[in-house]
Structure 1
């Protein structure tokens, strides 16, 4: 079920940033920073109350969508196109760790869908407007991509150990990096992925391993959400990035370490084609 919490048509000369996963954590922090810098920020989240509160606080627009449902992603894309004559940045920040394997109503493993297929679909549906705006796509990835492994015969993790969801999570972030590299190769826009750092937020709150870590450290592990939001806000800001489109950042350091498969252009092309087929859109731009 979608809930268009707050809808306004934006003037065509206002820099517009669409931030998913913006109802909490680094998304909310980055949204506030961008709004303070003069951008109109479209706050996209799953939780209605939190999404509305963040948007109200920063003077943005709120939209609610559940990425576990691709029909909601399609509906979200249409609303965003209807209300925003320009899209300067799409920041794909939604997603997370799923500690117990389950599938969505669309028939996909939840990590695969929320971390890869849903942002892939949203980006593709918004891409013509982003191109018209000479815009940019920024996707939140993770150093966890290093232990990811793409198996085209098991994208849904029916054949491999679940391991608390960490292997699927790492693979979804590897897919994020491959998506960004292909988007850069196939389109005229700027596209970047980044690792925000090991951020102490509500990430993985239902994960046993994260609960143990939180207990052992007294909740003091990692960097703050403010610090983790810096690369997201910077890459989504108006300044020139200064490195080639398709670059993966470790925080704000370009050319971060990636799993070997991230550099496999043929595999990345097949992943693009496969992802397009799974979400029922043409692979050609």
Structure 2
């Protein structure tokens, strides 16, 4: 009997250890000021889930759900849905969650706001299977992140419903295997750069790599209305490759000091 109890306890500890990353993440997110006093609507976990996560806007075409970008994953899924206190907005809570994840080394893959995301009813019913997340299209936000440390995908969806109630929905899927070619969309990088004025490129390799180089070129060439500085570690190498790849030299300046991680910063 003692041996059996010991085995069961060991199995229980393994399950707890496996579940802890999502549990710890959700507890940390709920401790953020805009999420304090939020009411938990759903907190659940499934051991084996196969799901397509959008990495682009959502549409229904000829009766079928279509994404401009997506990733299919299989693994353990953890879900948390909260209703914010009336003193906090969905926008502020979404921003706080987004900033927290980025500060803890999560890499944003996709970010959309309002009608750019697609119809809210598709996000609520088809993507997240949670009807209460439905609201006006212009009142929604969505972001997807990859957490390289533990090979998980984290999604955040915020909505202010027609009745004025604000909800945040989080999902974390600890994937059995994660595609190695997942990278942000150019529109997402441009949105991050415009929003914060500075974009940290800590996930880029030390030496310019063709896929990342092409992504930065596409990002910078989406708009000719702004100029940037590139600085930090190995910035000179990336600067030279960006110019060689077709970014106009008058739109990029080099900060040769390597006293920080690689970054892009808007020139005001």
Both structures adopt the same fold (TM-score exceeding 0.5): no
Structure (1 or 2) with the larger CA radius of gyration? 2
Higher relative strand content: 2
Higher relative helix content: 1
